[in-house]
Amino acid sequence: MPERLGHNEYPAKRFFGRPAERALKSYAMTLSLNIAILAAGQGTRMRSERPKVLHRLAGRPMLSHVVDTARSLGAAKICVVYGHGGEQVPEALAAPDLGFAKQEPQLGTGHAVRQALPHLDPEGITLVLYGDVPLVRTETLRQVAQAGRDGLAILTARLADPSGYGRIARDDAGEIRAIVEEKDASAEQRAITEVNTGILAAPTRRLAAWLERVTDANAQREYYLTDVVALAIADGVAVAGVEAAEAWEVLGVNSQSQLAVLERHYQARAARRLMDQGVSLADPARLDVRGELRCGRDVFIDVNCVFEGRVTLGDGVAVGANCVLRDVEVAANTRVFPFSHLEDAQIGADCRIGPYARIRPGTALGRDVHIGNFVEVKNSRLAEGSKANHLAYVGDATVGRRVNIGAGTITCNYDGAHKHRTVIEDDAFIGSDTQLVAPVTVGRGATLGAGTTLTKDAPPDALTVSRAKQVTVSGWRRPRKSDPNEK
């Protein structure tokens, strides 16, 4: 068989690798996998202005999950069919490896796949996915794509309640004969519990030929993708049914409450994966991972924590109840106490954060730093052993080692127009209720007396204090309200 070159293949790649690898590569190339993702539907039952597939599952548009799954299959071409909601879908998902085909008007799933065909490789196989079926697993789809190489493969599922789905009609020999849409089904056919998930795969050329022949002669006057089953059978092409191992992976979203059900399935799966890796979860039902959470060994996560973006927790890290961590790296053995909010920050090892701490973007904490209750840190570095334990604002500051920042300390970093930095050198001691009016530097080993408003640099190893002198007025009397009977 002559070796074909896909669009993304450089000729040099032909000579790369050992003969067996080359053979495998050319084989995969001749059967390039193309994926059409249908996402043009209106989603009326979401009762929303936003296109259904842009509603969020685990913090990201549900369509992004499908696109990621398509990528994980190693697809050569991915084409998203969009329509309802203008250009919102391509705008939200734009990526160099994605094609977009507009379907307008939306005349049914068969019509939708036809819009994708010009973007797909006619020599490959095409797998059809749905933007509103976001939990389907890569392993399952691999089986469908495999089975679709020499004929037509459809993914089916057994559902306790099959209502709303197309039913799989099989003959006495158990072979698939047709998919019957609920609206077109007889009472007998409606009793069938094996349903069409809508996901199917076939050689692209064949699929295109069948779709040419599909008509809209049905109850909904739509071009049904499912009609390709009858056409395949008429052509004497085998129709293989692949049954999904888990019913939840083929669930679609038509309403907000279905989306919420899928969210819990997604989170349950995320929690199971973490526990399989050895993470201790106080309650797997009260964890939300909206992104990627990587954990070292012996990590403990208490209830109601939310992890967004990319979060890494090192060995032995413990996260207390009700914490939100977004794009954060936490090094080994650090403890984050309850009700803390950490965003876009790097936290060193052996730190103690919270309870009620707020760590904002651009923060980097060294080893053994303590950030206590009602302390806000923004765009600041605190080196090893420094502490801000109570009620403070540390913004745009560079703090050395073993610095003690007293309760109520505030870096006055903003003059109304510009931000300025505060520098606090090693071993400085900042007395309580101090304002550091930036730009300002506190020298190494300096002490600031409580209540100081620092407007000029404090020299090292000295006490600096700005404070009105304390006076006592003896014999002074506090005013009293006069007695109304008094004359």
For the annotated catalytic residues, the residue numbers are: 390
Are the C-beta atoms of residues 343 and 361 closer than 8 Å to each other? yes
Are the C-beta atoms of residues 225 and 198 closer than 8 Å to each other? yes
For the CB of residue 259, give the shortest distance to ligand UD1 in the complex, in Å. Answer: 13
Residues that bind ligand UD1 (CB under 6 A): 38-41, 81, 103, 106-109, 111-112, 130-132, 165-166, 179, 181, 195-198, 224-226, 252
Which CB sits closer to ligand UD1, 131 or 431? Answer: 131
Which CB sits closer to ligand UD1, 248 or 356? Answer: 248
- The DSSP secondary structure of 163-224, one letter per residue, reads TTSPEEEE-TTS-EEEEE-GGG--HHHHT--EEEEEEEEEEHHHHHHHHHH----STT----
Which CB sits closer to ligand UD1, 41 or 314? Answer: 41
Q: Is the peptide bond before 105 cis (omega within 30 degrees of 0)?
A: yes
Which CB sits closer to ligand UD1, 107 or 208? Answer: 107
For the CB of residue 200, give the shortest distance to ligand UD1 in the complex, in Å. Answer: 9
Torsion-angle region of 172 (φ positive above 0: left; ψ -120 to 50: alpha; else: beta): alpha
Which CB sits closer to ligand UD1, 58 or 62? Answer: 62
For the CB of residue 440, give the shortest distance to ligand UD1 in the complex, in Å. Answer: 59
For the CB of residue 72, give the shortest distance to ligand UD1 in the complex, in Å. Answer: 20
How many angstroms separate the CA atoms of 404 and 372, rounded?
Answer: 12
- The DSSP secondary structure of 221-273, one letter per residue, reads ----GGGHHHHHHHTT--EEEEE-SSGGGG----SHHHHHHHHHHHHHHHHHH
* 3-state SS assignment for residue 409: coil
Which CB sits closer to ligand UD1, 178 or 369? Answer: 178
Length in residues, the chain: 487
For the CB of residue 113, give the shortest distance to ligand UD1 in the complex, in Å. Answer: 9
- The DSSP secondary structure of 113-174, one letter per residue, reads HHHHGGGS-TTSEEEEEETT-TT--HHHHHHHHHHTSSSEEEEEEE-SS-TTSPEEEE-TTS
For the CB of residue 197, give the shortest distance to ligand UD1 in the complex, in Å. Answer: 6
Q: Collect all residues with Cβ–Cβ distance below 8 Å to 437 and sequence separation of at least 6.
A: 412, 453, 454, 455
